[in-house]
Amino acid sequence: MGWTGFAAVFAVFFLTHSIPVRPAVKSRLVGTIGLRGFGVAYSLLSLGMLALLIWSAGEAPYVQLWPQMEWYRHAAHLGMLAVCLILALSIGRPNPFCFGGVRNDRFDPTQPGIVRWTRHPVLLALAIWAGVHLLPNGNLAHVILFGVLGSFALAGRTLIDRRKRRLLGASRWDALDTARKAAPPFYAPGSWRILFLKLLTGLAAFATLLLAHPYLIGVSAL
């Protein structure tokens, strides 16, 4: 695959992320398969396109920008550990500030969990994932891939904030945001068990990714 093919896959990646969430398109899809079905379908489509995009970067012409260094891999390990922990703390938690979410009507701004620290933990995880993969992949195609995806994640926070503020109403959005910032910075004592289980899940996910990396990506992460 040449640069044209890589660019074409990138274009399709962005189209499949932007078109389904346009209000007119999303309302029709939700009316057909339901809100939960839309969330599942959109997530699967996103993962599939991400896998295709990563594959296409590996097939693009190799142009080295910087050499490999041993500490790059260690930095990537630390970053990916943070990514797995952030995702473990985010999944299943009501979050009216983000795109999608589950049971957002049950969001308690006095006990926001990880949302106390960031309105968009999943996008933060995506940005870290992209950033730590830049170092050990110092060739042009992968620098474009991870650089664009990281920028996409960072810019997406502002775009989603604008959309959710419009949907929730400025006063409601501001009130929720002020309340979650004022919440205690750490978990309440009664939720330590849940916190422990989520952190354990994140550690297990990190270990699984390390072991599965050569089978999923074709390159060992160890």
Q: Is residue 117 part of a domain?
A: yes
pLDDT (tens digit, 9 = 90+) per residue, 180-209? 888 877 666 556 777 888 889 999 999 998
Do 104 and 7 fall within a single domain? Answer: no
Residue 207 in domain: yes
Q: Are 57 and 109 in the same domain?
A: no
The residue among 61, 91, 113 that closes a domain is 61
Quickly state the pLDDT bin for 142 (edges 50, 70, 90): very high
What is the domain count for the chain?
2
- Cα 105 to chain center, whole Å? 22
Whether residues 102 and 160 fall in one domain: yes
Query: How does pLDDT run across 96-106, given as a tens digit for each residue?
Result: 888 766 677 77
pLDDT attached to residue 188:
60
Q: Are residues 166 and 84 in the same domain?
A: yes
Phi, psi of 18 (to 5 degrees): -95, -40
Let me know whether 9 and 76 are in one domain: no
Question: Which residues constitute the domain of residue 197?
Answer: 65-216
- Helix extents (H) in the chain: 3-18, 23-59, 70-90, 121-134, 140-168, 170-182, 192-216
Whole-model pTM: value is 0.84
User: CB-based contacts of 56: which residues, under 8 Å, 6+ apart?
Assistant: 1, 5, 6, 9, 10
